Structure formats: structure tokens, C-alpha cells
Structure 1
Amino acid sequence: MTCTDGTTPDPDKNSCIDCNSTCSCSNSKCRSPDILKTTIRLQNGDEMRSKLSDDLLPLAFQQCSQGNIKQCQILINLCVLQHYERETNNACGLFDEARRSFNPWQITLDPLYFNGDSDSELGKEVAITQQYIFDNSDRSVIHLIFAIYNMEGDFDGFFDAKSFPLHFCQNDVQPGAPYRFGRRSGANSVNRLAKEQNRWILTRRFFLLDDFSITTKNGSVVRVASHVKFHIWFQKNGDGLIHPPYIEIDYNDNFERTTVESSFQVVYGRDPGPFDRDLEITMFVICPISVIWAALSAYSWGRRNGKVSAVDASSVLKLVLYECALLGDVFFIVVAVVACWTTFSYKSQTYVFYKLLSERQEQASERPTSRDISREVKQEAPVIWRTYLIANEWNELQRYRKTRLPLQIVTFLFLHEYFSLKNWAIVEPGFHRNLDDNFYDSTLLTRFAVVVFLYLSLAFIQWIIQVLLIERVILDPFHNFIDLCSVSNISVLSLTESLHGFYIHGRSVHGKGDAGMAEMNDFLQRERDSLCGFRGLEPSSELQTYIVNLPQAFRQKYDEIRQMANAQLGPSVTGHDAVTAKMHATVKAHGEMNEFLKAFIEHANSDLGYVIRDRTVAEAVLDLEFNDTSVTGNFMRDPSEMMFSRCFVYGNEWKWLSFECLLTCVIFLISDSIHLAFFVVFLTSSILKLIFSILSTNHLSRVGLVDNRFLL
């Protein structure tokens, strides 16, 4: 109801009574404290009465309506404490009513709100003309000026961010350090409650701590700005220009008056449109190339396995598998490159331009001791120990790698933790290690960039040292293996596909591999003095390694001999008799396989043949053979004598390395613990290595026709 001047409605609102000093009147409307809304809504949705509002609101409203600027400032402060909720009888509603009669802010800035909507206000490009840069000059510092009013409505003056910090734990960091341009500071908030974003409004005034407006029997309720985030957005087309920054504040209510925890962040943002567009263009270019490459790989696989049709179920499945593998590498490499480029370009610039945001088949064939025609000595069966020696050396090479995971982990932790290279992930200009990472902030992208860059850098350093230094100067296990094959008079044919693989010509130039110590030393001296023939498959050639593509008739004969070793035993043959019978079948198959391979290599089989040629550049680049080898095989020279390493982990190092690196990054980003990440990676790698060792040993025994009891 409406009453005349000097009166106010009675409690029953049936009549008007005289207004005493506790009433507040404006425009012939008087309100008693019981009618005014002096409650404050807490973060959990509850409302509690504010004694401060009870004491100050009636008088502030009355005198503000009469032109008292100081009381208007008190009314504005009470509105801020009520979180800008606008109702008829609360502080914000009363202030709106009061300035209908007294409004000195018509020609100046509104003391509470911005005139336009928040998007237009925050999107202005001409509001701040300062062009910031990354250096140590004054242009690299963001200067913030705050106008402070106390609860009595008095203006305490202007203060900069150094003297009026927005965070409570200012002793943990140098004053003004968070406001160095380009530096992201802060950490994730603590005790942050769920907030309704539709209640957020863009305002001019805020409070950081309130420990007196709400009191209870156990004391006052402490309301604190638990999470203060200072947002700075780069302009889309302006180097070093920014949009008007803004502060996002979340409040928390503390009833027990325990230690108040708060956090402060300075975050930078940019329009993700150009970045997303560049990433999309990159993926649109690379992904079709990966499909073409996968199709070529599937076609090559089909030819190497003797497929009659280029399009069948197995070829399509292989195409999908190749494409999945390629896409995995593409996404990993692109994301890693983008993360590293974005992070390190951002940190090293001065003028702001970059802004954040297969079954293997191995066959060890052995050349028997050659006949000495002059002495007419009967040919002897080959000594099996040389075969076992070569098989065990081959088995060891299967687990040989270019990098060592334990060394990788120790070196990484030493640099990442002890030398604090982890602080490179902090979003700020320059590469600084001695920063408090508990205060200065990093992002998911920068942490990923530092980990993947450091991990791959250390791995590639290991790779280069292993290949260019250790294997060339100290120990070369692969060329040593080739020499061992020559000394042992053992040749090796390893098939990675049904009709494709690698051949090591291990024929001894001395005609035999069984010799005493003195005779073996004499053999080596004769080779040193060039008093014997050449080791190579071709006359007058020392080349011993070849990439082979075999005719289909070879595979048919090969499978027939393999079936001899896999012949089913009768049900009456059990126990040791079964083992003996199995070994007899294996020995017979081994002998026939040896004779078959020897005849094939020496062109002694009229139904099977091959030609020796060089690999073309196109074949090397595409890893695809253009010649038809269904009738006549191809032996392509391998001058590097290292192509057969593709049979081992060594030749597929990138697959293991990228898996370990990606697993490290994923576990680290999920758990935020590099120690846990490396523990999981080491455990996983050890289990996979054990499984691979068991499978490769069993596979070598099965396809090489050697007794697995002699394989280590």
C-alpha cells in the first residue's frame, strides 16, 4: 500500500502509521526494516540475514535518495555484497529507485554496470591502444588501477595491482609478477562450488573478503573470493593488442572459520578460428595422402603374399589396418608438432605474433661342408651347433633396440625434475626454470609440448649416438652377425611376408665352417691378405644382403616341407615317444629344407629361378616392387646391408618409441605425475617385451625347424 509522507504501513498492512527514525522514505514511499530485504544468498542457495544490511540499508536508501553521495556508495557496496541480485526491496533495487530522483552518474560511468551488453563491451578493439611486447620494458607489463571504497562509503583512492593484489597469498610471489604480459599464472581453484553461469553479470565493482556482514551464534560467516581469474584476450588481427580484460570471480562461504583457501589466475585467450582452420587444412592434406600410402602398402602386401586379386577381404582388412596405423602416426606427429611449435614460438618471440592456445617367418639355412674333389672325401652332414649358434644370435637381435627405456627415463627425470625443465610449460615469455610452478600456471597443451619435446629429443639423441657412433665405432651387431654367418658357413632367409623377405648370403669362402682354432685363424689371415674368393652371392662381389621377392612355386614347395614337421602323430604315440617321433619328423624336414634352399640359391632347381638386380628409386621410396615375380624371383641388392633389420624391433623402432612416448604423455596428463607415468610405461614395456620374447622364440623354433630347447 502507498502511504503519505512521514507515514509507513503497519505490520498488518491495513493502515498507515507515523514513520519514526528507523523508516526509509523516498517519493512518498516509506519502508520499515521489516519490509526491506536484507538477506544474502549463499553459494549453496540458502539465504541468511545480514546484520550489516539491517543497520545500513534503511538510512543509506533514504539519504541517497536525498542526494548524499557517501550514502549512495554504501548502498552500492551493499548491492555488491548481495551479489547484484535485483529485487524491489533489496539494496540493488533500492539503488535503482533512489537514482530516479538523484542520479549524478547520468553523464559519467555507471557505478555498477556497463551500458552495453557484455559481448560488445569485451569485444571492443579500440578501448586499449597499448601494443604489448615480450621483453623487460614497460610495454611488457599490464598496469591495473583499482578505485577502492570502504564500507563507510569513503573513497580510499586509486591503487595499482602491486599495492592491491587480487590474491591473498601475495607473499608467495613477487608483487606485480603475475602481470607481466604473456605470463599465465595461478593454479586450479580449491573448494570451488558449482556455479550457475546464467547468473554471471558484467559489473564494475567487486569485493574479495567479507567477514562481518553475516553473523551467527558461532561467529561470522567468511565469504571469500575463492577463485579470481584475470582474463586477457588477444585481438584477432593485432600483434600485441588486446581486448578489454575482465576478472571472473567465484565466491566460497566458510562457516567454520578455518583456513581460507583461494586461488588467483591470469589467463590468456585467442580466437581459435585461424588455429582450427590451419589444423583442418593440414589434416585434410595429410589424411588423403595417408589413404593413398595405405592403399600402396596393402597392394604391396598382396603382391608379396601372392594374392591373385588386389581386392579381397584380407586385402581390405590390411588396408584398414595400415590406415589406422598411419592415422595414429599422423595425429600424434601433427599434435606434437603443433604443440611444440605453438609453445616454444610463443615463449621465444618479442613481438606478439604466435598466440597460445606382422607375422615374421625366418628360415636359417645351412650350407654343408663342401666336397674336396682332390681327396674324394664323402660329403658330411652339417654340424647342428653352428645352426643353433646362428639361431640364438638371431633371437637376440630380435629384441635389440636403438634406444634404451631405462636410460630414457633416468635422463628425462634428471632434466625434467632436477633441472626444472618442467617449468618451460609455464605460459610466459622466455624460457625460465627457476619459477614457482605452484603459482604460475601451465596448460594442457604446454605440458604436453614440453613432455613430448623432451622425450623425443632424448630418444633421437640416443638414436643418433647408437647408429652413428656406437654401431660405427664400438659395436655393430648386425654386420657382426653377417660376419658370423660367413665364418659359420650359414645362410639366412627371413620372410616377413609369404613371398617377400631378406636373404643373408653366409657362404664361407673357405668352403667349410668347422675348423680348429689354428685353422680358423689361418682362414681369417687369408681373407685379410685377399688370398681367397669373395663372400658375396655374385662373383667378384662382397655384397651379402638382399631383398627378395620369391616365385609362388617356391612358397608351395616351402609349405610342403613345413608340413612334414607338422605331421600328426598316431593316438598311441605319447610321452617321450611322441617327443622322439616329433624330433625325427623335424630333423627330416630340416634336412630337406636345407637341400631345397641350397639348390634354389645355386640355381640347381630348373623349376625355380631368380634374377639379381638393383632396386629402383621409386621402389625404395614407395616400398613396392614393380616387377612380376610370380614365376621368376627377384633378389634386389642391399648396399647398406641393414635392410634385414626390418625383421627386428630395431627396424621398427619408431612404433615402439611413439607408443611409449604417447603412453607417457597420456598418463602424465591424466595423473599430473611424471613418476607414475614412467612407472606405468616401464611396466607395460617390460610385459610387452616378455610377451614378444616368448612369441618370437617359439616362432623361430617353428619356422626355422630348430629345437627350441637349445634357444636361449
Structure 2
Amino acid sequence: MDIEIQRRNALISFGALSGAGIILAFLRTWKWFSRSGRDIIDLATIGKFILHLCGIIGTVLLLVTAGVSIYCLIIFKSQYNDEFQTNISGLQDLLRIFIIVAFVLKTIDIIHLIIRQSRIEIFFMDWERSKTGNPNTVSIWRTYFAANELNELQTFRRINVPFQLFFVLLLLKGINLENIACAQTAINVTPSAVCSDGYVRVFRIGLGFCVLLGTAIIQYLVYILFYQRIIEDKIINFIDLCAVSNISVFILNDNYRGYYIHGRSPHGMTDVNMKEILINLYREENRMSGTRGLQANSDEQVFIMKINRSFRTQYESLFRNYYNNNGPRKVREDFERYTNMLLQSYQNLNRFLCAFIDHSLPSHEYIIRNRYLIEKLLNYEFRVRTRSNFQGQSDNFLFIDNEKTFTEILFYGEESTLFIWNVTTFLFIDFLSGNYVLAAIITYIINAIFAGIRDSFGRKNLSRKTLIPKNFLI
């Protein structure tokens, strides 16, 4: 049993995967650089590269640690003896360094993720028109309701962490699978079995990783195949809510890239009584009205946006006026004048975005198209200057987003990143303490703290960007 070979293999694997990770970090930074519209490589670009690299290297360290540990568990478990216990100390020291560094780097990656998601620009476009002709009489409650639903989705995940950790402890402690990592050749997982010889930490890492991965896959498949199809799909429900509320969502997560959720009602008005709502839904269900899609006779409501500098400049000008009025609510002598200015700036921005979507701005036309296969694989949209049906050329694009990639502004769309961080935290605590129960408790606490931070920052950003008081975002 040459443990030194496994130690050398771990270092070689780390080196090879890190090389690939550097290339991947470069590609991610290049995409961000292009989407942010930067012309030169500055400190922000270098910082973004380092942050992407931290997340990737953290994942590499976890995979190498788990891979070596699982290999040792499978190959060396049946050959365990005192010599193995003596020789494995060098490998355990290396894996200790790997798992500690992985935890630190993945935590930095999660902080970076929270900052990214909490700084998006978002605006709820209201398509409703006043029955009296006075735009000031349009109710704001539909916007409040849609924003509140989006706020509830900010930290929603397909993998429920408390349930997963409970299931993991049930398997490891209740069924006593923990004894597989015992320092002996025999495997006895009966409830009454006791590991008197102690546990091998390398075995514990491999066992813990397998159980965490297995429970996550089961929970994910149950959600995708059962819960999402039979009970509810929260993302689809939110998109439907936008259409019922006559509210579209305009999102920019980079300077020149974002998402558009088309919520314009095919019935024109939605601020109506119960009878008219039921009639509208009946007509829509029986194909007696138009479709909800942005294009005629289509159902596509979600798009990836790529805008040009001209549109961004005008948007920033209107948004700056709106945001300045929606800034800190200081004591003002003329509060009514302040609210009138705020309402006017909101309506100006709303009219501009609605006119853009309606093709009513000749200087800001856009083209709708599907993404090419290479664009889907790279998650990067190429700006192909194509002549549209309008005069001149357009380099504003709306790409049909059937994959619902707009969820990357939510925890929902970053499930793999969060799962890897949870696994790293669990294995890190267990490696230091040798206690699965303590690892589960601390993992739950840390996850809850970061989810709370994300929820708080996200609510604050949503309130600041959409003019909605935080106390309305439950």
C-alpha cells in the first residue's frame, strides 16, 4: 500500500485541474469584461479574474480531496492495518491543507456571489393604462405584489439544506453508515455496532462526500421530476404572475447585458374586478385572446438582453434622475413637490422602457433571435450586426431564454456553487472535529447566516431600485 503514490497523484491532479481552472477563470473574466463594456484591463478586471479563480480553485481542491479520499476508502479499506495508519499521515496532512484552503476560497466565492446578486439593476415596467386618462391614477399595488414575489425567490433553492443535513445525519448516525470509515477492515453498520478503533479521517471525507452528493442528487431529482411538475414551479409561477399583473421586469446584471421578463397582458388591462379577471383567464385558456409572448403568436416571455452604448447612456440618464429622487429620504420642507418629482421620474423611465419594447424608439431598435448552440454552451451571446426589419442596423438584441438563465440573479440559478460550498463547509468542520453532527450543525448555521445576508442585501437593493418600501417586501 504505497500511500505516497496517492499523495503524488493528488498533487498532479491539482496541478492539471488548476491549469484548466485558470483558462476557465480567464474565459469568465473575458465574458464579464465584454458585458461590462470596458476598453482596457484595469484593477477591477484583475480583481474579477482573481475572484473567479478563487471559486474555481476552491472547487478543484474539493474534487481532488474527495476523489483521493473515495479512492482510499474503496481500495485500502479492506487492506487496513497499522502500517497504513502510519503511512497515511502525510496524505492526511496534505488533504487537511486542501480542505482548509478550499473552504476559505469557496467562502470568498460565495461572498462574491452575494455582492453580484445584490447589485443588479432592476425595474418593474407597468403596462397598465389609466381608465380616466390620468397616468397618476394607475395603482401601484400590482408592482408591489410582483416585487414581493421576486423578493421571496431571492434565496429559494431546489436543494433544501436543513432537510439534506437531516437526511445525511439519518444515514450516517441513524443507520450507522459512519462505521464504514472505522479504522478496521470489517464493515459493521448495525445500529448497535461501535467503532472502538477510531475513525480514519480520509475515509470520513470520502464517505461524507458520497452521502452528501447522493442525498443532493435524490432531492434535486425529486424536485425536478415531481415537485416542480406536479405541485408548483416557483419560477414559472412568477412569470405567470407578471403576465396577470401586466408587469414586465427589466434587469441588468452587467452594464450591457441583462434579462427581460415580458409580463404585458394580452387583455390590455388587469386592474379590474373579479368578474373581468375570470373572463380574461377563461378567454386566454380557450385561445380566444392573444398570447403572452413578446412576439405575435408566441409564448416566449423570458429573454436575455444585450444592449448598446447609446441605449445604456439614455437609460442611465433617466435612471439617475429616478434614483436621485429615490435616494435617502431626508426631511424635506416641500414633501409634496418631492413626491411629484419622484413620480414624474418614475413615469419617464417607465415610458422609455415600454417604448423600447414596443419598437417606438427608432434610434433604439432591437432584434429577437434564438441563441446558437455555441452561445448556449459558452453562455455568451455574440453581437452579430444584422439588418432588422427596420431601417438601418440594430445591435440591441433580445435572445429567447428557454433555459431560464435569468435565475442566475437568484440563489436558484447558482445551485451548484452553493452546494459545493455547503459540502466544503461540512467536510472542513468534520475533518477538524471528527464529528458529523457538529459538522451538520455548523454547516446549517453558516448557510443560514449567509442566506440571511443575501436576503437582507437583496431586499435593500430591490427597495432602492424599485421605489418599494422595505416593509412591503415580506
Fold shared per TM-score above 0.5: yes
Q: Does 1:284 align with 2:15?
A: yes
Contact residue 552 and residue 631 of structure 1 kept, 8 A? no
Q: Is the 8 A contact 1:370 1:511 kept in 2?
A: no
Deviates more, 1:390-399 or 1:615-624: 615-624
AA paired with 1:465?
A: V
Residue 662 (structure 1) aligned with residue 394 (structure 2): no
| Preserved CA contact (<8 Å) 2:325 2:342 | no
Name the structure 2 match of 1:360: 120
Structure-to-structure mapping, 1:210-229, within 5 angstroms: none
Instruction: State the match for 1:14 in structure 2.
Output: none
Displacement of 1:437 after TM fit?
4.2
Paired letter, 1:565:
Y
Retained in 2: the 8 A contact 1:426–1:437? no
Flag the 1:471–1:348 CA change in 2: closer, same or farther, 3 A: farther
> In structure 1, which of residues 275, 281, 306 is the aligned counterpart of residue 37 of structure 2?
306
Structure-2 change in CA distance of 1:574 and 1:362 (3 Å): closer
Q: CA deviation at 1:700?
A: 0.7
For 2:335 and 2:471, the matched residues in 1 are separated by 12
Q: 2:234 aligns with which of 473, 477, 482?
A: 477
- What code does the residue aligned with 1:501 have? G
Q: Residues 578 and 370 of structure 1: is their aligned pair in 2 closer, same or farther, counting only changes over 3 Å? A: closer
- How many residues are treated as equivalent by the alignment? 432
* 1:362–1:519 Cα change, 3 Å: same
More helix by share: 2
Q: Which runs of 5+ in 2 are unaligned?
A: 92-115, 386-392
Distance 1:568 1:368 in 2: 23
Task: Using structure 1 for the length normalisation, give the TM-score.
Answer: 0.57
Give the match's secondary structure for 1:378.
coil
What CA distance in whole angstroms lies between the structure 1 residues aligned with 2:233 and 2:69?
36
Report the counterpart of residue 552 of structure 1 in structure 2.
Answer: 309
Higher alpha-carbon deviation: 476-485 or 328-337 = 328-337
Task: Provide the C-alpha distance between the structure 1 equivalents of 2:313 and 2:370, rounded to a whole number of angstroms.
Answer: 26
> Residue 491 of structure 1 contacts residue 506 of structure 1 at CA under 8 Å; is this kept in 2?
yes
Aligned to 1:378: 133
| 2:272 partner amino acid | A
**Larger RCO, structure (CA 8 Å, separation 6 or more):** 2
The whole-number CA distance in structure 2 between the counterparts of 1:466 and 1:535 is: 27
Counterpart position of 1:296: 27
How far the C-alpha of 1:326 sits from its partner, in A, is 0.9
Where in structure 2 are the equivalents of 1:32-47 lying within 5 Å? none
Is this contact kept in 1: 2:10–2:65, CA < 8 A? no
The more displaced of 535-544 and 671-680 is 671-680
- Check whether the contact 1:403–1:459 (CA below 8 A) recurs between aligned residues: yes
1:438 Cα deviation after fit: 3.8
* 1:493 aligned onto 2:250: yes
How many angstroms apart in 1 are the aligned matches of 2:373 and 2:407? 20
* 1:343 alignment counterpart: 73
2:347 to 591, 611, 616: 591
**1:261-293 deviation line (CA, Å, top 9, x unaligned):** xxxxxxxxx2413x2343334233322221111
Confirm or deny that 1:414 pairs with 2:170.
Answer: yes
SS of match in other structure, 1:567: helix
Amino acid aligned to 1:634: F
> Which residue does 1:142 correspond to in 2?
none
Q: CA RMSD in A?
A: 2.9
Matching residue of 1:229: none
1:454–1:511 CA distance, 2 compared to 1 (3 A): same
Call closer, same or farther: CA 1:691–1:579 in 2, change over 3 Å.
farther
Residue 684 of structure 1 pairs with residue 414 of structure 2: no
Q: Secondary structure at the match of 2:260?
A: strand
8 Å Cα contact 2:371/2:399 also seen in 1: yes
SS at structure 2 position matched to 1:546 = strand
Separation (CA, whole Å) in 2 of partners of 1:481 and 1:302: 31
In the alignment, the residues of structure 2 paired with residue 585 and residue 710 of structure 1 have an alpha-carbon distance, to the nearest angstrom, of 22
TM-score normalised per structure 2: 0.84
Q: Partners in 2 of 1:613 and 1:329 — Cα distance?
A: 35
What's the CA shift string for 1:440-484, capped at 9, x where partnerless? 343111011112221222122212211221011111111111111
| Structure 2 residue 459 is the aligned partner of structure 1 residue 697 | yes
Query: Partner amino acid for 2:46?
Result: V
Are residues 479 and 648 of structure 1, via their aligned partners in 2, closer, same or farther at CA, if it must alter by over 3 Å?
same
Deviation at 1:580, TM superposition (A): 5.7
Q: Indicate the percent of aligned positions where both proteins have the same amino acid.
A: 28
The residue number in structure 2 matching 1:567 is 324
Residue of 579, 603, 610 corresponding to 2:359:
603
CA distance in 2, matches of 1:593, 1:621: 34
Q: Matches of 1:333 and 1:579 in 2, distance apart?
A: 58
Matches within 5 A, 1:15-164: none
User: 1:678, 1:693 → 2: CA distance?
Assistant: 22
Q: Pick from 127, 146, 150: which aligns with 1:394?
A: 150
Structure 2: how far apart are the matches of 1:380 and 1:585?
14
- Give the match's secondary structure for 2:362: coil
User: How far off its partner does 1:432 sit?
Assistant: 2.9
Please name the residue that 2:111 is paired with: none
Q: Which of 1 and 2 has greater Rg?
A: 1
The one-character-per-residue Cα deviations of 1:174-203 (angstroms, maximum 9, x if unpaired) are xxxxxxxxxxxxxxxxxxxxxxxxxxxxxx
Instruction: Give how far 1:562 is off.
Output: 2.3
The residue aligned with 1:405 is 161
Distance 1:663 1:611 in 2: 45
Task: Output one character per residue of 1:362-418: Cα deviation in whole Å (capped at 9) or x when no partner.
Answer: 2211112288xxxxx736453211000100001011121112222122222222111
2:396 matched to 1:633?
yes
Cα distance change of structure 1 residues 581 and 347 upon mapping to structure 2, 3 Å threshold: farther
SS at match of 1:506: coil
Asked if 2 retains the 8 angstrom alpha-carbon contact of 1:368 and 1:380, the reply is no
| d(CA) in 1 for partners of 2:394, 2:43 | 25
Secondary structure of the structure 2 residue equivalent to 1:442:
coil
Unpaired stretches in structure 1, ≥5 consecutive residues: 1-233, 235-269, 372-376
Letter in 2 for 1:654: S
Rounded to whole Å, the distance in 2 between the matches of 1:530 and 1:580 is: 46
SS in 2 for 1:706: coil
Shift of 1:577: 4.3
User: Would you say the 8 A contact 2:70–2:206 is kept in 1?
Assistant: yes
| Alignment-mate amino acid for residue 367 of structure 1 | W
Structure 1 pair 578–332 and aligned structure 2 pair: CA distance change class (3 A): farther
Alpha carbons of structure 1 residues 656 and 378: separation in structure 2 relative to 1, 3 Å: same
Asked whether the equivalents of residues 613 and 635 of structure 1 are also in contact (C-alpha less than 8 Å), the reply is yes
Distance 1:312 1:628 in 2: 26
- For 1:540 and 1:385, locate their aligned partners in 2 and report how far apart those are by CA, in whole Å: 29
User: Counterparts of 1:691 and 1:585 in 2: how far apart (Å)?
Assistant: 33
- Structure 1 pair 280–675 and aligned structure 2 pair: CA distance change class (3 A): closer
Aligned partner of 2:174: which letter?
Y
Paired amino acid for 1:710: F
Residues 1:707 and 2:469 are matched in the alignment: yes
| Residues 284/675 of structure 1: CA separation in 2 closer, same or farther (3 Å cut) | closer
Give me the whole-angstrom Cα distance separating, in 1, the residues matched to 2:33 and 2:141. 37
Aligned-residue offset at 1:514: 1.1
Out of 254, 257, 260, the position equivalent to 1:503 is: 260
**Does the residue aligned with 2:123 lie in a helix, a strand or coil?**
strand
Instruction: Please state how far the C-alpha of 1:316 moved relative to its aligned partner.
Output: 1.7
Once residues 337 and 10 of structure 2 are traced to their aligned partners in structure 1, the CA distance between those partners, rounded to angstroms, is 63
What corresponds to 1:674 in structure 2?
A: 436
CA deviation after TM superposition for structure 1 residue 360, in Å? 2.1
Question: Is the 1:448–1:669 Cα contact (8 Å) retained in structure 2?
Answer: yes
